[in-house]
């Protein structure tokens, strides 16, 4: 190996770690400020949730229940998936119910609903209903009670209205009518829904969890006890894409969205930009709103930044190891 190369590798061993930290920081900041379009591969655990929820499109006898069991510390991973699921429901005329078990989660539910309903003509008590905060000590009685009668188990929503009097509850009585529950948490709280709502009443359960909790929940996914799983920011990015590709697409043939297809997932390119853009899908020109398009791609933009940062770290590790072993070999020869 040339002496110049050895000198370069030797210098790399002595680079101040603060310089490396700065380079990694910029590799995260720049993709966030200047987003670019990258391929988002949709996996089965995410698509299973999408297809189940989408099967309720336009059906006023079915609803989706979203359970919030987290605080603001896990928002970077969980909030984008919550907004994506709400957008899916609003886009496809699917009734959605929400409930939270921590005082700190109550404002997060309102924040998610208010952000997701932007651009949609939806009303509280008609298209969606927030049951509000319920003490964690009542979680088990409420879970079991909803298997018989939701209105009796919950009684009032976040605004103090009687659940049984709300229009959204027409044709919705128990888990038979609310046959998918998605629990969003930074832990394994979905297990409680599996033990009680699924084991006793046969409800379908899905989990939205942080990346560090994926391994703990995989056994339930593999056994079929979890219908699907949002796995950290990656899962949120996948669902964002599914909503953009399928739910938000309208045509004369599919007025409520387009049919689910793996081929379409692989072929459809949905740009990430701050500018208004027109692109062609199935021969139809689609124009997207600049602000909304950027706003509802936070998970995908975050994944881009994360990917670049990971690549940079891997490059530093490889170069560092090469330099270390070559320098070590050179010293042995000198001795």
The whole-angstrom separation of Cα 80 and Cα 83 is 5
Identify the residue with better confidence: 335 or 308: 308
Res. 1: pLDDT tops 60: no
Range among 185-189, 284-288, 323-327 with highest mean pLDDT value: 185-189
Q: Are strands 181-185 and 63-69 parallel, antiparallel or unpaired?
A: parallel
Give φ, ψ of 286 to 5 degrees: -110, 125
**Host H or E run for residue 87:** helix 75-91
The whole-angstrom separation of Cα 152 and Cα 69 is 22
pLDDT of residue 167: 96
* Structural Rg of the chain based on CA atoms: 24
| For the chain, counts of helices (H) and of strands (E) | 14, 8
Q: From the options 1.10.730, 1.10.443, 3.10.20, 3.40.50, give the CATH code of 44-268.
A: 3.40.50
Please answer whether residues 285 and 278 qualify as being in contact, where contact means their C-beta atoms are separated by less than 8 angstroms.
Answer: yes
Res. 262: pLDDT tops 90: no
Q: Are strands 63-69 and 128-133 parallel, antiparallel or unpaired?
A: unpaired
Instruction: Find the range with the poorest average confidence among 106-110, 151-155, 209-213, 305-309.
Output: 305-309
Q: Average of pLDDT values for 271-291?
A: 64
pLDDT of residue 323: 74
Cα dist from 147 to 9, 129, 185, 289, 326, whole Å = 65, 18, 22, 41, 66
**Host H or E run for residue 205:** strand 205-209
What angle in degrees, to the nearest 10, is found between the helix axes of 44-54 and 232-242? 40
**Host H or E run for residue 284:** strand 284-288
pLDDT of residue 276: 66
317 — pLDDT class (breaks 50, 70, 90): confident
- For the stretch 31-68, pLDDT in tens is 888 888 778 889 999 999 999 999 999 899 999 999 99
The number of beta carbons lying within 10 Å of the beta carbon of residue 149 is 13
Res. 234: pLDDT tops 80: yes
Query: Which residues sit opposite 88 in a β-bridge?
Result: none
- For the stretch 69-80, pLDDT in tens is 999 999 999 999
- For the stretch 79-101, pLDDT in tens is 999 999 999 999 999 999 999 99
The whole-angstrom separation of Cα 207 and Cα 46 is 10
- Give just the sign of the alpha carbon dihedral 288, 289, 293, 296: negative
Mean pLDDT of the chain: 87
**Host H or E run for residue 279:** strand 277-281
146 — pLDDT class (breaks 50, 70, 90): very high
């Amino acid at each position: 190996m040339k002496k110049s190369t050895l000198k370069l590798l030797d210098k790399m061993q002595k680079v101040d770690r603060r310089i490396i930290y700065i380079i990694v920081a910029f590799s995260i900041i720049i993709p966030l400020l200047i987003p670019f379009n990258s391929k988002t591969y949709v996996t089965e655990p995410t698509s299973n949730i999408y297809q189940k929820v989408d099967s309720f499109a336009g059906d006023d006898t079915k609803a989706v229940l979203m359970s919030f069991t987290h605080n603001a510390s896990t928002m970077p991973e969980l909030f984008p998936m919550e907004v994506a699921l709400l957008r899916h429901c609003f886009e496809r005329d699917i009734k959605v119910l929400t409930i939270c078990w921590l005082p700190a989660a109550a404002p997060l539910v309102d924040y998610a609903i208010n952000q997701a309903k932007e651009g949609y003509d939806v009303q509280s008590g008609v298209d969606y209903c927030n049951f509000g905060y319920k003490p964690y000590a009542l979680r088990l009685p409420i879970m079991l009670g909803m298997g018989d009668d939701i209105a009796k188990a919950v009684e009032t929503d976040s605004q103090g209205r009687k659940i049984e009097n709300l229009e959204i509850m027409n044709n919705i009585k128990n888990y038979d009518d609310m046959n998918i529950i998605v629990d969003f948490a930074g832990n394994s709280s979905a297990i409680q829904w599996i033990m009680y709502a699924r084991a006793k009443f046969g409800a379908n359960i899905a989990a939205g969890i942080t990346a560090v909790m994926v391994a703990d929940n995989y056994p339930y996914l593999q056994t079929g006890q979890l219908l699907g799983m949002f796995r950290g920011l990656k899962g949120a990015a996948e669902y964002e894409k599914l909503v953009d590709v399928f739910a938000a697409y309208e045509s004369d043939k599919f007025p409520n969205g387009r049919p689910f297809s793996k081929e379409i997932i692989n072929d459809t390119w949905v740009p990430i930009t701050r500018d208004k853009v027109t692109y062609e899908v199935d021969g139809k020109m689609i124009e997207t709103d600049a602000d909304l398009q950027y706003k509802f791609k936070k998970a995908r933009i975050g994944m881009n930044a994360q990917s670049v940062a990971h690549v940079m770290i891997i490059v530093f590790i490889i170069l560092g190891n090469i330099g270390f072993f070559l320098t070590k070999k050179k010293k042995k020869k000198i001795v």
